[in-house]
Structure 1
């Protein structure tokens, strides 16, 4: 008789024992993976060493270091350097987690792909920064040049017809005049 509990030896108890052993081994590997993922940390430096940011496996900042050169920059420049470096550190998390997971549960590629895919969606690679030598578009003023995107100037509105004074019909002289006039 063949069924889900039969194997080549025909011993259902041996098959159940094998499944239990496999489940225990898989649980041990997943616990090891969870502990290893909890230890993942990424450190990234940016802004010519101006900023160094460390993040944990959840992408939370665990360390932030700024050099004294930040005093030479505006608040907006410092904030940009910190955020850019933070995003670069977070975007490296998926690759680090993929390495850790390959070492612990590498035979479960579907789980690895799902978790790493979720991290990639949450922490995408940052967009490349524009060159510092190029001023931001909103700060550019071109004098004397013709803008490529400039629209044709609107034609002037047509002249309005001149108003003619009302004609005197010889009627009431006070009609249309001010009632505040003293006589």
Structure 2
């Protein structure tokens, strides 16, 4: 959009201002249309075995979540992982949908398109590739602790017994000192 050329005669200046004003109004209309279309963007993604189906809106918020009855056969941790992985896949596809809307509505403004699409790419990166789903037969051992602690982190801490101090040194006294009857 070019700036109006001022300094000519009054009629020419008025024409330039009207043209410039019409360009600004048309651009504002296109940006409002773009904003409305982006707000309607929704992406649905299914897990590889269709146990989980997630729909997200243009902000990345989950708007629908369907978990198959077959998921009841899986441990809760595995279902949680499927939900999160499927959600991230859906979110990563938002960028492409928004890019299409931007190109169609305000594609003549490459800086704005690049800034908005870059922002979506940063917020919703491509998820890591699917790892093979763990099963009871593939999980041999689970350890808790920091990796850099090595074997020492796996040993339980020594137990301490709190023995009362002895008031007397009687070797036959198994009660640790003072009488409990006093």
Judge same fold: TM > 0.5, yes or no. yes
Greater helix content:
2
Greater Rg over alpha carbons, structure: 1
Distance 1:109 1:137 in 2: 53
Residue 81 (structure 1) aligns with: 82
Q: CA deviation at 1:79?
A: 0.1
Alignment of 1:21-100 (within 5 A): 21-100=22-101
Equivalent residues of 2:5, 2:16 under 8 A apart: no
Q: CA deviation at 1:139?
A: 4.4
Runs (4+) off by over 6 Å: none
- Structure 1 residues 136 and 130: CA distance shift in structure 2, 3 A: farther
Give distance in 2, aligned partners of 1:41 and 1:82. Answer: 17
Gaps of 5+ in 1: 141-179
Q: Secondary structure at the match of 2:66?
A: strand
The Cα shift of 1:138 comes to 6.0
| Structure 2: stretches of 5+ with no match in the other structure | 144-168, 170-182
Q: TM-score, normalised by structure 2?
A: 0.69
Equivalents in 2 of 1:82, 1:43: separation in Å? Answer: 12
Matches within 5 A, 1:1-183: 4-6=5-7, 11-132=12-133, 135=138, 139=142
> How many residues are matched?
140
In the superposition, the TM-score normalised over structure 1's length comes to: 0.69
CA RMSD, 1 decimal: 2.6
